[in-house]
Amino acid sequence: MQYDYLIVGSGLMGATFAYLAHHAGKRCLVVERRAHTGGNVHCQEVAGIQVHQYGAHILHTNNREVWQFVNGIAECNRYTNSPVANYQGKLYNLPFNMNTFYQMWGVTTPLQARRKIEEQRSEAIRKLDGREPANLEEQALALVGKDIFERLIKGYTEKQWGRSCNELPAFIIRRLPLRFVFDNNYFNDSYQGIPIGGYNRLIDRLLQDIEVRLKTDFLEHKQELDTLADKVLYTGPLDAYFDYRLGHLQYRTVRFETEVLETPNYQGNAVVNYTDRDVPYTRIIEHKHFEQFGPAVYDNPQTVISKEYSMEWMPGMEPYYPVNDEKNSALLREYQTLAAKEENVIFAGRLAEYKYYDMAPTIERAMQLWSKEEA
Ligand code: FAD
Ligand code: UDP
């Protein structure tokens, strides 16, 4: 065989695995369906700004090994995600914290805020009368109460999932962290940032000196490609590998409307969520704030924004978020039974495992898979 590994897909899973295998002396070939590497972390430079073409990506983790691995390859900046919610023109800080409670009710101390939330939750808890919440609406009302649910959760969640909150499963928001401190950092992780110069720098360095064939769909050339390597790491959609023979796994997807604006600073923040049902998009991303901080924002007279419209996935669109409901989970198990019978194929990553992996867990999973291979 010409190669030890044929790696299908050059997203973070494929690129990290290829890097580890290559550095252990293995011969790797990466095939990528798209015209570029990087999968969904790919960036495109527009007006001198790194635009996250497939949606905003913020690396965050508690895993020191992953953080050091990434930073050893491409150093990360100090970006801290602190999204703002816009509900009917009024702004609220996220995640729900003392700033939010002050904006919502004018309360100024943690004790006042706790009392207010208890008061807000009490009606929902009384209605539940000891039973488990049957849907997302009941769950959210019991956790945070009416005002936060109605202004900051209901519209956003309904737009994101395309379903009413009382038809969505409660498990989507089992946890809705409430912080009784003035802290707008969206993540609790110890490490957070974005590779300086964008994600392409990370991916290019991971794939340095490794043969990559772009615009090559593995499934279209499977017979020929299968003869080239001892083992395959497949990171494409699981159902596609089996030619959808048991049916399609469902996804949610996002449509992006990206514009260049002749202003240095459009919204003053990277992420503004629009939590009102009547605004058709879920959020606006202003990409320069991921990489320029403070006065440097004004160095570039232009800015780039993307409006995000969440929608149901249909064949031909990019599959983004697995829909982990009962129907899709049952279908997944059937496909996994087929996958277990495939010899010398490892199914890994967001699409092949039909699992919502963030970037750090994707890298961690690639590391685990590689140590298993090496053992
Ligand atoms: P992908 O990036 O999807 O890569 C799979 C690759 O395989 C693609 O390049 C695809 O073209 C290729 N491929 C598929 N089929 C074939 C085939 N038949 N032949 C050849 N190639 C094929 N994570 C975070 O940590 N922070 C965030 O802020 C964040 N935001 C996100 C926002 C959005 C909108 C989305 C969708 C995801 C977000 N993520 C975020 C998750 C992150 O994108 C994933 O963790 C990561 O991209 C997973 O990498 P992957 O390699 O498994 O999948
Ligand atoms: N959410 C919300 N209002 C917001 C942001 C998030 O109600 O302004 C809820 C919504 O149900 C969403 C979930 O929190 O599905 C997770 O959202 P987050 O943005 O944290 O995760 P992502 O969509 O990036 O996976």
CA of 151 relative to ligand 2 center, distance in Å: 13
Domain of 202 in residue numbering reads as 3-76+189-248+325-374
Pair (165, 194) in one structural domain: no
203-252, pLDDT tens digit by residue? 999 999 999 999 999 999 999 999 999 999 999 999 999 999 999 999 99
Pair (195, 162) in one structural domain: no
pLDDT at 173: 83
Q: CA 119, CA 224: separation in Å to the nearest integer?
A: 66
Decide which of 146, 172, 198 is a domain's last residue. Answer: 172
Does the residue 290 lie in any domain? no
Q: Which domain CATH number covers 38?
A: 3.40.50.720
Residue 343 structure tokens: 């010899």
Pair (126, 158) in one structural domain: yes
Question: pLDDT category, 305, cuts 50, 70, 90?
Answer: very high
Decide which of 172, 207, 223 is a domain's last residue. Answer: 172
Tell me how crowded residue 271 is: count the other CB atoms within 10 A of its CB: 21
Share of the chain above pLDDT 70, in %: 99
pLDDT at 316: 86
Does the residue 307 lie in any domain? no
Closest ligand 1 atom to residue 348 Cα is 52
Does the residue 256 lie in any domain? no
57-85, pLDDT tens digit by residue? 999 999 999 999 999 999 999 999 999 99
Does the residue 24 lie in any domain? yes
pLDDT at 331: 98
Q: CA 36, CA 44: separation in Å to the nearest integer?
A: 10
Residues with beta carbon inside 6 Å of ligand 2?
85, 94, 152-153, 156-157, 160, 172-173, 273, 275
The residues assigned a catalytic role are 175, 179, 252, 283, 308, 356, 358
Pair (162, 17) in one structural domain: no
Pair (141, 205) in one structural domain: no
By alpha-carbon position, which residue is closest to atom 19 of ligand 2?
A: 273
Pair (159, 54) in one structural domain: no
Q: How many domains does the chain have?
A: 2
Query: Does the structure show a pLDDT above 90 at 9?
Result: yes
Across the strands, what pairs with 375?
none
| Phi, psi (degrees; rounded to nearest 5) at 121 | -80, -25
Query: Residue 185: exposed, middle, or buried by beta-carbon count in 10 A (0-12, 13-18, 19+)?
Result: middle
Ligand 2 test: best mutation among 157, 175, 251, most atoms within 8 Å of CB? Answer: 157
pLDDT at 134: 93
CA of 283 relative to ligand 2 center, distance in Å: 11
Q: What angle do CA 259, 263, 269 make, to 5 degrees?
A: 80
Does the residue 318 lie in any domain? no
pLDDT at 325: 80
SS (H, E, C) the chain: CCEEEEEECCCHHHHHHHHHHHHCCCCEEEECCCCCCCHHHCEEEECCEEEECCCCCCEEECCHHHHHHHHHHCCECCCCCCCEEEECCEEEECCCCHHHHHHHHCCCCHHHHHHHHHHHHHHHHHHHCCCCCCCHHHHHHHHHCHHHHHHHHHHHHHHHHCCCCCCCCHHHHCCCCCCCCCCCCCCCCCEEECECCCHHHHHHHHCCCCEEECCCCHHHHHHHHHCCEEEEEECCCHHHHCCCCCCCCCEEEEEEEEEEECCCCCCCCCEEEECCCCCCCCEEEEHHHHCCCHHHHHHCCCEEEEEEEEEECCCCCCCCEECCCHHHHHHHHHHHHHHHHCCCEEECCCCCCCCCCCHHHHHHHHHHHHHHHHC
Does the residue 275 lie in any domain? no
Question: pLDDT category, 299, cuts 50, 70, 90?
Answer: very high
Across the strands, what pairs with 345?
232
pLDDT at 97: 98
Say if CB 81 and CB 270 are below 8 A apart. Answer: yes
Decide which of 172, 198, 222 is a domain's last residue. Answer: 172
Nearest ligand to the CA of 39 is 1
265-279, pLDDT tens digit by residue? 999 999 999 999 999
CA of 221 relative to ligand 2 center, distance in Å: 39
Pair (159, 193) in one structural domain: no
By alpha-carbon position, which residue is closest to atom 27 of ligand 1?
A: 57
Does the residue 66 lie in any domain? yes
Query: Does the structure show a pLDDT above 90 at 171?
Result: no
Residues with beta carbon inside 6 Å of ligand 1?
8-14, 31-34, 39-41, 54-59, 217-219, 235-236, 254, 320, 349-351, 357-360, 362
Minimal CA–CA distance to 3: which of 32, 36, 35, 25?
A: 25
pLDDT at 169: 85
Pair (151, 212) in one structural domain: no
Pair (366, 244) in one structural domain: yes
Pair (199, 337) in one structural domain: yes
What residue type is 230 in one-letter code? D
Q: CA 116, CA 100: separation in Å to the nearest integer?
A: 12
Pair (345, 196) in one structural domain: yes
Pair (8, 69) in one structural domain: yes
330-358, pLDDT tens digit by residue? 999 999 999 999 999 999 999 999 999 99
CA of 334 relative to ligand 1 center, distance in Å: 23
Does the residue 282 lie in any domain? no
Minimal CA–CA distance to 196: which of 207, 184, 205?
A: 205
